[in-house]
Amino acid sequence: MPAMPTELAAPEAPTKPAETPVEVPSRQDPQPGEPDKQDDPDIDEQIKRIIREIPDPTPQPGGQ
Amino acid sequence: MDGALFGTETEYACAGAAGQSPAEAAIRVKDGVFAGRKFGLIEPAPREWGEVPGNGGFLFNGGRLYLDSGHLEYATPECRTLEDVVAAERGGDQILVQTVADLGLQSEIFFIKNNTDHFGHTYGYHENYCLRVSPRSRDMVQGLLPFLVTRQLFAGAGMIAPAPLRGRATGSRSGGGPGVLPALPGSGSTVPVTPFQLSQRAAFVSVDVSHRVRFGGRPILNLRDEPLAGGRFRRLHIIIGDANRSEYATALKLGTTALVAQLLELGWDCDVELEHPVQAIKDISRNPHGNWTVRTARGGSMPAIEVQRAYLLEATRRFLGRDKDTDWTLRQWATILNGLEMDPLRLAGYVDWVTKYQQLSQFAEKSPRGWDDPALIKLDLAYHHVNPAVSLYTLLRKQGVIPSLVDDERAERAMQQPPADSRAAGRGHVVRAMAEARADDAIRWEVLARRLGERAVWGDERFVVYEYVDDWRDIRDTGAWHIIPYLIDWGAVAVKDHVLEFPDPFRDYAEEAERFGKSIPSLLRR
Check residues A21 and B406 and name the one with the higher pLDDT.
Answer: B406
Q: Can you tell me the mean pLDDT for B267-273?
A: 94
User: Quick check: B404 contacting A, CB < 8 Å?
Assistant: yes
Q: Is the pLDDT of residue B229 over 70?
A: yes
Whose CA is closest to A28, among A7, A13, A43, A46?
A: A7
Query: Per the CB < 8 Å rule, is B346 touching A43?
Result: no
What is the Cα–Cα distance from B322 to B2, expressed in whole angstroms?
Answer: 7
Query: Per the CB < 8 Å rule, is B403 touching A5?
Result: yes
User: Quick check: B378 contacting A, CB < 8 Å?
Assistant: yes
Residue B416 lies in a domain: no
Q: Are strands B125-131 and B110-112 parallel, antiparallel or unpaired?
A: unpaired
Number of domains chain B is built from: 1
CA distances to B3, B303, B501 from B233, rounded to whole Å, are 12, 35, 15
pLDDT of residue B448: 76
pLDDT of residue A39: 54
Query: Does A21 sit behind a cis peptide bond, omega within 30 degrees of 0 on the bond before it?
Result: yes
Residue A59 has its nearest CB partner, among B121, B334, B359, at: B121
**Residue B188 burial (CB < 10 Å; 0-12/13-18/19+)?**
exposed
Residue A57 has its nearest CB partner, among B118, B309, B330, at: B118
- Per DSSP, the residues of B38-73 read SSEEE--S-BTTTB-TTSEEEETTS-EEEEETTEEE
pLDDT confidence band for B19 (50 / 70 / 90):
confident
Q: How far is CA B161 from the centre of its chain?
A: 21
Phi, psi for B136 (deg, rounded to 5) = -95, 0
Query: Per the CB < 8 Å rule, is A28 touching B346?
Result: yes
pLDDT of residue B171: 35
Residue B214 has its nearest CB partner, among A28, A57, A64, at: A64
Residue B499 lies in a domain: yes
Least confident of A9-18, A54-63, B446-455: A9-18
User: Quick check: B400 contacting A, CB < 8 Å?
Assistant: yes
- Determine how many CB atoms are found less than 10 A away from the CB of residue B10: 24
User: Quick check: B328 contacting A, CB < 8 Å?
Assistant: yes
Q: Can you tell me the mean pLDDT for B398-402?
A: 94
Q: How far is B113 from chain A (nearest CA, A)?
A: 12
Active site residues of B: 68
Whose CA is closest to B175, among B195, B190, B194, B160?
A: B190
CA distances to B235, B423, B478, B513, B514 from B508, rounded to whole Å, are 19, 4, 31, 9, 11
Q: Is the pLDDT of residue B506 over 90?
A: yes
Which chain A residue has the Cα nearest residue B362?
A38
Selected residues 49-68 of chain B with any CB under 8 Å from a CB in chain A: 68
Please report, rounded to a whole number, the percentage of residues in chain B having pLDDT higher than 70. 90
Name every chain B residue with its beta carbon within 8 A of the beta carbon of A1: 399-400
Which chain A residue has the Cα nearest residue B363?
A44
Q: Is the dihedral of CA B100, B102, B103, B106 positive or negative?
A: positive
Residue B382 has its nearest CB partner, among A8, A40, A54, at: A54
pLDDT of residue A36: 44
Q: Can you tell me the mean pLDDT for B24-49?
A: 93
Query: Per the CB < 8 Å rule, is A14 touching B333?
Result: yes
pLDDT confidence band for B1 (50 / 70 / 90):
very high
Phi, psi for B457 (deg, rounded to 5) = -130, 115
What is the Cα–Cα distance from B504 to B525, expressed in whole angstroms?
Answer: 30
pLDDT of residue B461: 57
Q: Can you tell me the mean pLDDT for B483-499?
A: 95
Selected residues 86-115 of chain B with any CB under 8 Å from a CB in chain A: 110
pLDDT of residue B160: 92
Residue B461 lies in a domain: yes
Selected residues 33-62 of chain A with any CB under 8 Å from a CB in chain B: 37-38, 40, 43-44, 46-47, 50-51, 53-62
Residue B22 lies in a domain: no
Q: Is the pLDDT of residue B130 over 80?
A: yes
Q: What mean pLDDT is reported for chain A?
A: 62
pLDDT of residue B449: 58
Sequence-distant (≥ 6) Cβ neighbours of residue B12 within 8 angstroms:
B26, B71, B72, B73, B74, B96, B111, B112, B113, B386
Name every chain B residue with its beta carbon within 8 A of the beta carbon of A14: 312, 316, 320, 330-331, 333-334
List, for residues B45-68, the tens digit of each pLDDT value: 988 877 888 999 999 999 999 999
Name every chain A residue with its beta carbon within 8 A of the beta carbon of B25: none
Which chain B residue has the Cα nearest residue A12?
B331
Q: How far is B70 from chain A (nearest CA, A)?
A: 6
Q: Can you tell me the mean pLDDT for B118-138?
A: 93
Check residues A4 and B271 and name the one with the higher pLDDT.
Answer: B271
Q: In b/e form, how buried is each residue of B321-351, taking b as 16+ CB within 10 angstroms?
A: eeeebbbbbbbbbbbbbbbbbbbbbbbbbbb
Name the residue range of residue B472's domain. 423-525
Residue B454 lies in a domain: yes
Q: Are strands B219-222 and B207-210 parallel, antiparallel or unpaired?
A: parallel
What is the Cα–Cα distance from A1 to B400, expressed in whole angstroms?
Answer: 6
Q: Can you tell me the mean pLDDT for B278-290?
A: 95
B1 with B255: CB under 8 angstroms? Answer: yes
**Residue A47 burial (CB < 10 Å; 0-12/13-18/19+)?**
buried
pLDDT of residue B323: 97
Selected residues 437-496 of chain B with any CB under 8 Å from a CB in chain A: none
If residue A48 lies in a helix (H) or strand (E), which one and from where to where? helix A41-53
What is the Cα–Cα distance from B160 to B183, expressed in whole angstroms?
Answer: 14
Which chain A residue has the Cα nearest residue B390?
A50
Q: What mean pLDDT is reported for chain B?
A: 90
Residue B341 lies in a domain: no
- Per DSSP, the residues of B339-356 read HHHH-GGGGTTTSHHHHH
Query: Per the CB < 8 Å rule, is B401 touching A61?
Result: no
User: Quick check: B290 contacting A, CB < 8 Å?
Assistant: no
List, for residues A26-47, the tens digit of each pLDDT value: 434 433 334 444 456 688 999 9
Residue B443 lies in a domain: yes
What is the Cα–Cα distance from A1 to A15, expressed in whole angstroms?
Answer: 35
Sequence-distant (≥ 6) Cβ neighbours of residue B346 within 8 angstroms:
A24, A25, A26, A28, B186, B339
List, for residues B319-339, the tens digit of each pLDDT value: 999 999 999 999 999 999 999
Whose CA is closest to B377, among B7, B3, B6, B13?
A: B13
Q: Can you tell me the mean pLDDT for B458-463?
A: 56
Name every chain B residue with its beta carbon within 8 A of the beta carbon of A50: 379, 382, 385, 390-392, 395
Q: Are strands B492-495 and B498-501 parallel, antiparallel or unpaired?
A: antiparallel
pLDDT confidence band for B526 (50 / 70 / 90):
confident
Coil, helix or strand at residue B187: coil
Q: Is the pLDDT of residue B37 over 60?
A: yes
The length of chain B, given as a count of residues = 526
pLDDT confidence band for A14 (50 / 70 / 90):
very low
Least confident of B117-126, B127-136, B147-156, B213-222: B213-222
Name every chain A residue with its beta carbon within 8 A of the beta carbon of B313: 16-18
Which value, in Å, is the radius of gyration of the alpha carbons in chain B?
24
Beta bridge partners of B498: B495
pLDDT confidence band for A16 (50 / 70 / 90):
very low
Q: Can you tell me the mean pLDDT for B82-92?
A: 98
Task: Give the per-residue SS3 of B123-186.
Answer: CCEEEEEEECCCCCCHHHHHHHHHHHHHHHHHHCCCEECCHHHHHHCCCCCCCCCCCCECCCCC
Q: Is the pLDDT of residue A4 over 80?
A: no
Query: Per the CB < 8 Å rule, is A54 touching B16?
Result: yes
Which chain A residue has the Cα nearest residue B318?
A15
User: Quick check: B320 contacting A, CB < 8 Å?
Assistant: yes
Crossing angle of the two packed helices B247-265 and B138-155, in degrees rounded to 10? 160
Name every chain B residue with its beta carbon within 8 A of the beta carbon of A7: 328, 331-332
Q: How far is CA B336 from the centre of its chain?
A: 22
Residue B520 lies in a domain: yes
B224: alpha, beta or left? (left if phi > 0; alpha if psi -120 to 50):
beta
Q: Please give the interface size between A and B, counted as residue pairs whose CB atoms are below 8 Å apart.
A: 181
pLDDT of residue B179: 36
B100 with B39: CB under 8 angstroms? Answer: no
Query: Per the CB < 8 Å rule, is B214 touching A62?
Result: yes
Sequence-distant (≥ 6) Cβ neighbours of residue A48 within 8 angstroms:
none
- Determine how many CB atoms are found less than 10 A away from the CB of residue B269: 10
